[in-house]
Chain A
Amino acid sequence: MFYLSELEHSLRVPPHLLNLPLEDAIKSVLQNVFLDKVLADLGLCVSVYDIKSIEGGFVLPGDGAATYKVGFRIVVFRPFVGEVIAAKFKESDSNGLRLTLGFFDDIYVPAPLMPKPNRCEPDPYNRKQMIWVWEYGEPLEDFIIDDSCQIKFRVESISYPSVPTERAEDAKPFAPMVVTGNMDEDGLGPVSWWDSYEQIDQEE
């Protein structure tokens, strides 16, 4: 789920940070630049881990600040394909489910990857939402997917869409990293579905 990545970056340390020790000043600039941002093919930057090297400190002509070349390590959130993650419910509509981790919201479970057989019905309490129901067992029992507990999914793919040049009026906000999840497997889906599994097994 989390990785360390080694990066190198040229950055400008503005003069108002000169009262700090150099390392602290550079760290605060790095945090401003990278934290909570997605780097394509690298993931979501969570935290600056440490600084490995600081080079330079040149003042470029016409500039009132020193520029350093810094090598550093950063903690990134980048799930791997096949990983199982516990997330929380965010939205659901006829296209599928949207999950959140609190710090990352762009997790989608599309309709073809929902537990089968399923059906989708309108939510009586919220007109914008649809409820997904898994039909399972003999006789058929309804298992509803809602926000009552954590939901586990398996990472199917991760994509880094490029920034669109044109934006439609009603388009969704741009997401730089999108995780597609799969829930169509035993043990996946809301954790409450599987709590009683072992008991039933033993009774049999």
Chain B
Amino acid sequence: MKANAGALTNFEVLDFLNSRGASKDTTRVIAPIARSEYKVYDYLVETAASTQTRESVTKFADKCKDFKVAKAEILNIINLRPSSIVELLPIIETPDDRKINTDGILELVKDLLPPLPTTETHEDNAEEETDNGEQL
């Protein structure tokens, strides 16, 4: 028995469930997928994993090695897709002591990992609000 035969990102689990035929289809009888697996699927489609592709995730993990962050931290970044510094800070342990370039990581996240459709609209709203504020 080997308890740890490799960590999986949220994306990989979602990809695996997709490959077995899971979908957002409401009938849910055709695919041979258990109800408990669908619960996991429902959680994952609402995370950033639903917009990621295999290429973007591997490319991101490769480039992230330059920042000297731990593997678990890379995994956590891919799963959560932090878009601002305050979202990134809890993931990385003592970034100042280890001299980690957090801005660089955020740039990389923006370049390689696509944002969630919902958060994108939210950002738009926020921008509009600030625009209005300036006019006033």
Contact = CB atoms under 8 A, between A and B. Distances in A.
Asked whether A and B interact, the reply is yes
Interface of A: 1-8, 31, 35-36, 41-42, 46-47, 49, 73, 75, 77, 80, 82-86, 101-103, 152, 154, 185-188, 194-199
Given A83-B72, A185-B90, A197 B84 contact: yes
Interface stretch (B31-39, B56-64, B107-115): B31-39
Main secondary structure on A side of the interface with B: mixed
B128 interface: no
Contact of B5 (A73, A80, A197): A73
Contacts of A83: 72, 76
B130 A46 contact: no
A83 B75 CA distance: 9
Contact of A46 (B7, B13, B126): B13
Interface string B9-51: 1101100110000000000000000101101101100010000
B5 A3 contact: yes
Contacts of B34: 31, 35-36, 47
B90 A84 contact: yes
Contacts of A186: 86, 89-90
A47 B86 contact: no
Contact of A47 (B40, B42, B89): B40
A6 B79 contact: no
Given A5-B2, A8-B1, A36 B36 contact: yes
Nearest to A182: B90
Given A83-B72, A103-B36, A103-B39, A199 B16 contact: no
